[in-house]
Chain A
Amino acid sequence: MAETLLFNALREAIDEEMGRDDTVFVLGEDVGAYGGSYKVTKDLYEKYGELRVLDTPIAENSFTGMAVGAAMTGLRPIIEGMNMGFLLLAFNQIANNAGMLRYTSGGNFKIPMVIRGPGGVGRQLGAEHSQRLEAYFQAVPGLKIVACSTPYNAKGLLKAAIRDNNPVLFFEHVLLYNLKEDLPNHEYVVPLDKAEIVRPGKDVTILTYSRMRHHVTQAVKGLEKKGIDPEVIDLISLKPLDFDTIGASIQKTHRVIIVEECMRTGGIGAEIIASINDRYFDELDAPVVRLSSQDIPTPYNGKLETLTIVQPKQIETAVENMVALKV
């Protein structure tokens, strides 16, 4: 076991996969000589050379399209979005070509590529650098969307994403890069499509992902003291959603709270609620509650920024309220 910071866990994943498969390469802004804006590719440039750790000009749409072309012709690109928000400029290549081209081509081509990088709100970076993009992308057919939350799952999931034969949008969170965890010395891969049961429980199902997992964990400490026993599930895969795990939990608790960092309107939670209504309506003892971030551009001011995002106390209250409705 070795204590590892999350950004280094990601780095190890990339290093191991590049060592294992020489068609894997990294591209993006400042990924090479500079080592990545969060040091996820530090020293890989020296190790693998400038073609396999390719510093690109600031041309997001074009280098994303270039990765699609490289993937169609047999390479396995990993794009680092210096900040995932910049990938808004690559929306066309991500949606039309990474997402849809396999289908549109009638299966002629596959597009094994990973688009990863820092997202989410934190550090008072202001609206444009504090985007919540997962909801924008969830409607794109053909994309897989994954959010990591711990050093362990970050490493194992990134390895799985690199090996997957489909385009995977891989969200990291700016505030989680320095999380520490003892990682196994042996190689491991974490499946992309399985939600993680963070804490088994029986009273209520809390569905969450990315940084909000840690807010939920904090809230759970308070709830435990009050004798409440929630089941916490980290969704991991935001698309497709793991309804086996979600469904089994609902059949046990009959109550669901969603805690998400994305915006409320058209968010991941909105999609989950609709799907739960489709599949498990009869299992529910209470309407599904969703705690989302506010439908506003992330404000710079620290207090306003905090108000924009769901906080542990709100989660605690929401769970208590839901449990109090007990029928």
Chain B
Amino acid sequence: MVQERTFPKFQAPAAKISADQGLVLYEDMILGRYFEDKCAEMYYRGKMFGFVHLYNGQEAVSSGVIKSLRSDDYVCSTYRDHVHALSAGVPAKQVMAELFGKETGCSRGRGGSMHLFSSEHNMLGGFAFIGEGIPVALGAAFQSRYRRDALGDPNADQVTASFFGDGTTNNGQFFECLNMAALWKLPILFVVENNKWAIGMAHERATSQPEIYKKAAVFGMPGFEVDGMDVMAVRTVAQEAVARARAGEGPTLIECLTYRFRGHSLADPDELRSKAEKEAWLARDPIKRFEAYLLEHKLADQATMKAVRDRIQSSIDEALTFAEESPEPSPDDLYKYIFADE
């Protein structure tokens, strides 16, 4: 087995968080985890179809980055997009209804698991092809800079966060967009979720330089390696990157070392990853780790955390009922949404 990358040491005193902020992160991670667990259950019960890629294990990345954004910032994801959408504020009901193919889904049942969109929440997608979301995110970031510098709008300081996997960093769109983002100093965060695998392709077998964050340097861009199982570490790096982007100082590449606790998708038998590897990473569960952090710093007690978990569980149950009871799109609308203004 290839040697594990060492995790960057995180300077504990640098992180400051209030109890309220801590609970926001905790709630968001619980929401992501419980939502995905419910998806697995529904998929195996034959209620969801297509490819469904779950996010279990990677929650610290979504919560740490997206909860460092403002609501008018932009989020751009991949096919593993449920939890990014939830962190971005798309209601669980709408995401669940989308997975059920319902008209009330965030993409009105036309998109499915890999195509979650919400213009209301600046959720730009949901992209099922590797790498194709990165240029779209770049366009949103360009738009912010255009409004600020070409149109003179001082309030146009929105930041875009673009998420993608380790395997995707071997695709040309990754390099092309790093180049343009640095060249034009665009307000964007390139967030790599390095979960060590691209389906069955181990990261080290696919790339000549496995330390992805180092690829930023050739573009003259700051690149950071961060423990992606530690929401506080992710949050700290993300906040700095957001501040830089908002101040017009350009993009940042953030490589989060993380792991998915389930197969690539719910259709994946997950036979290649060793038991030892899985166990080692399960022991770093970002939710358990953050619970310990909250307790240690007296930001929450067991009862408070349980209340959060109960509340999220019931909101997921509500989302499920909503999804089940919602209508399917009307066959009369088969051609609706092909063109705007029709």
Residues of chain A at the chain B interface (Cβ within 8 Å)? 22-23, 25, 49, 51-52, 56-57, 59, 61-75, 92-93, 96-97, 101-112, 141-142, 144, 164-166
Contact = CB atoms under 8 A, between A and B. Distances in A.
29 contacts: A49-B150, A59-B176, A62-B135, A62-B172, A63-B180, A64-B135, A65-B132, A65-B136, A66-B180, A68-B139, A69-B136, A70-B139, A70-B142, A72-B136, A73-B74, A93-B135, A96-B127, A96-B132, A104-B117, A104-B126, A105-B107, A105-B111, A105-B119, A107-B336, A107-B337, A109-B124, A141-B338, A164-B341, A166-B339
B7 interface: no
Given A69-B140, A108-B107, A142 B338 contact: yes
A92 B171 CA distance: 13
A66 B107 contact: no
A25 B138 contact: no
Interface in B111-128: 111, 115, 117-119, 124-127
A139 to B, nearest CB: 13
Nearest to B119: A108
B176 A57 contact: yes
Interface string B134-151: 111111111101100111
Please indicate which of the listed interface residues A51, A75, A105, A112 has the most CB atoms of chain B within 10 Å of its own CB: A105
A73 B140 contact: yes
Nearest to B76: A69
A61 B135 contact: yes
Given A96-B129, A105-B107, A65 B135 contact: yes
Contacts of A105: 107, 110-111, 115, 117, 119, 125-126, 337
Contacts of B177: 62, 66
A97 B132 contact: yes
A210 B245 CA distance: 45
B146 A70 contact: yes
A68 B125 CA distance: 12
A104 B109 CA distance: 9
A67 B180 CA distance: 13
Interface in B80-102: none
A103 B173 CA distance: 23
Given A69-B138, A105-B115, A93 B132 contact: yes
A198 B20 CA distance: 70
B143 A75 contact: yes
B105 interface: yes
Nearest to A69: B139
Q: Kindly list the 4 A-B residue pairs having the minimum CB-CB distance in the complex, ordered from nearest.
A: A69-B139, A65-B135, A106-B108, A105-B117
B145 to A, nearest CB: 7
Contact of B339 (A49, A52, A66, A102): A102
Nearest to B144: A73
Interface string B52-94: 0000000000000000000000101000000000000000000
A262 B136 CA distance: 31
B283 to A, nearest CB: 39
A92 B129 contact: yes
B340 interface: yes
A74 B143 contact: yes
Contacts of B137: 69
Contacts of A144: 339
Contacts of B124: 69, 72-73, 109
A23 B147 CA distance: 8
Contacts of B108: 106-107
Interface in B291-342: 336-341
B179 interface: yes
B19 interface: no
Contacts of A101: 117, 125
B199 interface: no
B201 interface: no
Contact of B110 (A67, A73, A97, A104): A104
A66 B138 contact: yes
B206 interface: no
B139 A73 contact: yes
B338 A69 contact: no
B284 to A, nearest CB: 34
Given A25-B146, A66-B135, 9 more contacts: A51-B146, A51-B150, A57-B183, A67-B139, A69-B139, A72-B139, A93-B135, A102-B337, A142-B338
Contact of A69 (B106, B126, B143): B143
A57 B179 contact: yes
Contacts of B336: 107
Contacts of A164: 341
